[in-house]
Amino acid sequence: MKKIEILTIESLNRSPLTIEGYLFEGSDPKAASVAIVGAMEGKTVLPLYSASKLVEFLRNEIGNKEKIRGNILIIPSINHYALNLGERFWPLDKTDLNMIFPGYGAGETTQRIAHKVFEALSGYDYGISLETRNDLSSCISYISLLQSGYEDIPSARKCGLRLIHHKEMKPTDTVSLQYNWQLWGTKALSIICPSDTKIETDGYKEIFESMVRFLYAIGSIEYKVMLGYDSNIVYNKGIEIVKTPKSGIFIPTKKTGASVAKEEMIGKIINALEGNVVHRIFAPCDGVITCVYNNGLILENALAFRILKNASA
Amino acid sequence: MQIKEIFSSQLPVGEKLTIKRNRFSPTEEKSGNKRVSIVSGIHGDELEGQYVIYLLATWLANNPNALRGTIDLYPGVNALGIDSITRGFPIYEVDLNRSFPGGDKEFLPGQLVDALAQDVKGSDIAIDIHSSNIFLREIPQIRINKEFSEATLPLAKKLNCDFIWIHDAVTVLEATFSHTMNKLGTKTLVVEMGVGMRLTKEYGVQLLNGILNLLKSEGIIVTDEEYEQREPFSSEIGDVFYINSPKSGLFVAELNHCAMIEKGQKVGSIVNPLNGEILEELFAPNGGIMFTLREYPVVYEGSLIARIFGNPDNEKN
Ligand SMILES: [Zn+2]
């Protein structure tokens, strides 16, 4: 394993930000190469944890270096400055780094960071970006694959996660890592991780295993884990939106990943000052809860749940 | 004068978020009357538009008989952000001006921008007033997407601004208010002026004059007042030169914002307060007007320090 420095930026009062990659050189030059990006933003730790566990796995647990066949680059964290402050975005100007690719070497600080990172990530056969949802919700771990015209569904299936969201492009997706990576010839996908800020010991496992499964399936490593799901391809029309007509304290009574039946209670809203239940939320259809609003206090008309309708899966 | 809530959401604890519009209508409603919408505060840390809209509301209240069309004022779109010095929509931490057109089935910020777009829809003209951000100070300028410039450039020239910056179409900017409204058939202009978190009174008065001038020339107000207009310089006839900081440190400006400068003139220094060292001195790469200047002194390598507009200098030596 080689540790490579991708970029260092000085700061007036903080330690320099040094972004590092862990490069595992494969034994077979013809084997597929992969680059993996962990945390691009702060306020959540699963992308960081999963990526760092993968570094440990490839370094210590896979046993034999020969078993790493293709080049594997892992960048566990890009935005240390945000992670260390519990901020989500670049702390000075709140730029979302995943909205600034492919970057620009002579531009703003964050454009320069994106540019250097993108340079390091370019040329790999496959790419995985670990992300979290940006709408104040948490979710089951799933793959987000843009309808970019360059996307590769067969490789996304190799992660064996339950869902692949084949996502319609929005204007802001054109500056995401995944899109630009694809544009430059890498079969890139995003694994959207639950937005947990506290994690249990094994909280990384599903994401971690999906990456190991992927690495095995594309021939980058010789290490087999159990088969995953035969992924469901999901489109927006297959997702039922559940809004709350009342504000207050939000208590989901069902978690992400739960199968629910139509008219089953999935959550309730409590009057924040008087403690009484002001609204009960019922599932509008049979299905699986994919996303739950991730805050104890909820605004009127906020999106409380997303349910993948059974008939559409 | 007629105040309406165009969007509301009860907050979790004893409070309601409301986005308000104030409508000034002519005493005589006629078919064919035009409608103009003035919007500000989509970014909660930008306040210059609040002052301009205040001045305009005062003028309209004092001149009720001048009105021949409808004028809608939306001074505080990101109401929670404005009251908490937050650029994006608080809680969700999302930039509303990257969330358009939004929709009823989206998360709450998406519902909010949808409500705004639906309400402004049908206006003949919209003006979205921004004040840069807390980092940069800007002279009053209009930003125009080339895609819509045929319709919007003639209007921009009437707004009494100093600079018209026509930029190429960028896909990510399709998520802005102005792009959405232009697509919906409302000729929409973006004003950038001043600096975040502050009011620049003279700019407010300057833009008010421009807006009144535009309203008068469009026949929306009738008044004997004459509005002197500046001749804006336009990015069509020159280039924009950027100075980005080569080092991280504290930026100390040498010149004032708006200064006319020559190539090689010193713009400022990047210093280190801890040891008194000058880390880097910055010089103008080209002559012209320095229309953007760094306001927030803490910089990283790459931070934008200044923008200069001018004609490319010939090799002089
Ligand atoms: Zn703005």
Each residue's pLDDT, cut to its tens digit, for chain B (317 residues) gives: 899 999 999 999 999 999 999 999 998 778 889 999 999 999 999 999 999 999 999 999 999 999 999 999 999 999 999 999 999 999 999 999 999 999 999 999 999 999 999 999 999 999 999 999 999 999 999 999 999 999 999 999 999 999 999 999 999 999 999 999 999 999 999 999 999 999 999 999 999 999 999 999 999 999 999 998 999 998 888 899 999 999 999 999 999 888 899 999 999 999 999 999 999 999 999 999 999 999 999 999 999 999 999 998 754 43
Q: Last residue of some domain: B233, B251, B273?
A: B233
Is B107 in Cβ contact with A135 (below 8 Å)? yes
Other CB atoms closer than 10 Å to residue B216's CB: what's the count? 19
Tokens at B31, concatenated: 């078919």
Looking at the domain assignment, is residue B317 inside a domain? no
Q: Which residues of A touch B242 (CB under 8 A)?
A: 106
Distance in Å, CA B292 to ligand 1 centroid:
15
pTM of the model: 0.96
**Are B119 and B156 in a shared domain?**
yes
Residue B17: list chain A partners with CB under 8 A. Answer: 299
Same domain? A158 vs A257: no
Domain boundary among A185, A216, A233: A233
Are residues B109 and B220 both part of a single domain? yes
- Distance from Cα B135 to the centre of ligand 1, integer Å: 12
Instruction: Closest CB to A108: pick one of B93, B105, B303.
Output: B303
Residue B112 lies in a domain: yes
Domain final position from A218, A233, A248: A233
Residue B127 Cα to ligand 1 midpoint, Å, equals 13
Option in B10, B133, B250 nearest A12 (CB)? B250
Stretch A204-221: mean pLDDT: 97
Which among B91, B92, B172 has the least Cβ separation from residue A172?
Answer: B172
Within 8 A of B301 by CB-CB distance, chain A residues are: 9-10, 109, 112
Distance in Å, alpha carbon of A107 to nearest chain B alpha carbon: 6
Closest CB to B91 among A112, A136, A137: A136
CB-CB under 8 Å, A93 with B175: no
Tally of CB atoms within 10 A around B280: 16
The span from the CA of A203 to the CA of A219, in Å, is 26
Residue of A9, A104, A108 to mutate when probing chain B, most B C-beta within 10 A: A108
Distance (angstroms) between ligand 1 centre and the Cα of B131 equals 6
> Of the candidates A40, A53, A92, which has an alpha carbon nearest to the alpha carbon of residue A212?
A53
| Torsion sign (Cα): B191, B194, B200, B201 | negative
Taking residues A34-39, what's their average pLDDT?
A: 98
Judging by beta carbons within 10 Å of its beta carbon (0-12, 13-18, 19+), is residue B194 exposed, middle or buried?
A: buried
Shared-domain flag, residues B37 and B91: yes
**Residues B216, B77: one domain?**
yes
Does any domain span residue B98? yes
Q: At what angle do helices B48-62 and B201-217 cross, to 10 degrees?
A: 50
Inter-chain contact B12–A109, Cβ cutoff 8 Å? no
| Cα torsion A101, A107, A109, A115: sign | positive
Boundary of a domain, candidates B192, B208, B233: B233
Q: Specify the number of domains making up chain A.
A: 2
Q: Is residue B265 in some structural domain?
A: yes
Pairwise CA distance, residues B218 & B124, whole Å: 10
* Distance (Å) of CA A132 to CA A112, A129, B242, B254: 23, 10, 34, 43
Dihedral sign from CA coordinates of B190, B193, B198, B199 = negative
Q: Is residue B48 domain-shared with residue B130, that is, in the same domain?
A: yes
Q: B105 contacts in A (CB within 8 Å)?
A: 241
Q: Which of A191, A206, A233 is the last residue of a domain?
A: A233
Q: Which two tokens stand for residue A73?
A: 């680059």
Nearest to A168 by CA among A151, A192, A154: A151
CB A215 within 8 A of CB A238: no
A32 and A148 in a single domain? The answer is yes
Helix, strand, coil percentages for chain B (3-state, nearest 5): 25, 35, 40
What token pair was written down for A146? 């843009």
What gap in Å lies between CA B308 and CA B283, rounded to an integer? 11
CA distance A95 to chain B (A): 10
All residues at 6 or more sequence positions from A186 whose CB lies less than 8 Å from its CB, including other chains: A35, A121, A122, A123, A124, A125, A126, A127
The domain boundary residue, chosen from B211, B233, B255: B233
Strand partners, A234: A165
Same domain membership, residue A251 and residue A135: no
A11 to B105: CB separation less than 8 angstroms, yes or no: no
The mean pLDDT value of chain B amounts to 95
Q: Which residues of A touch B136 (CB under 8 A)?
A: none
Classify residue B58 by burial, with Cβ atoms within 10 Å: 0-12, 13-18, 19+.
Answer: exposed
Q: What is the CATH number of the domain that holds A286?
A: 2.40.50.100
Q: Describe the crossing of helices A205-217 and A46-56 by its angle, rounded to 10 degrees.
A: 50
User: How far apart are the C-alpha atoms of A176 and B236, rounded to whole Å?
Assistant: 30
pLDDT at residue A313, as a whole number = 52
Q: What is the pLDDT of residues B267-286, one digit of tens each?
A: 999 999 999 999 999 999 99
> In this predicted structure, what is the pLDDT of residue B316?
45
Domain residue limits at A292: 237-309
Are residues B296 and B210 part of one domain? Answer: no
Do B84 and B184 fall within a single domain?
Answer: yes
A interface test, pick of B248, B250, B294 with most A CB neighbours within 10 Å: B248
Residues A211 and A246 in one domain: no
Q: Confirm whether B315 is domain-assigned.
A: no
Looking up tokens 């009011």 gives B199
Q: Exposure string (b/e) for A179-192, b if CB count within 10 Å is 16 or more?
A: bbbbebebbbbbbb
As for how many domains chain B has, the answer is: 2
Backbone angles phi, psi at A225, to 5 degrees: -110, 175
Euclidean distance between CA atoms A205 and A57, whole angstroms: 12
Could B107 and A9 be called an inter-chain contact, meaning their C-beta atoms sit closer than 8 Å?
no
Other Cβ atoms within 10 Å of B4 Cβ, number: 12
| Whether A253 and A225 share a structural domain | no
Task: List residues of chain A with CB under 8 Å from any CB of chain B.
Answer: 9-12, 88-89, 92-94, 99, 106-112, 134-137, 170-172, 174-175, 241, 246-249, 272-273, 295, 297-303
Q: ipTM score here?
A: 0.95
Q: Are residues B180 and B107 in the same domain?
A: yes
Q: Strand, helix or coil at A176? A: coil
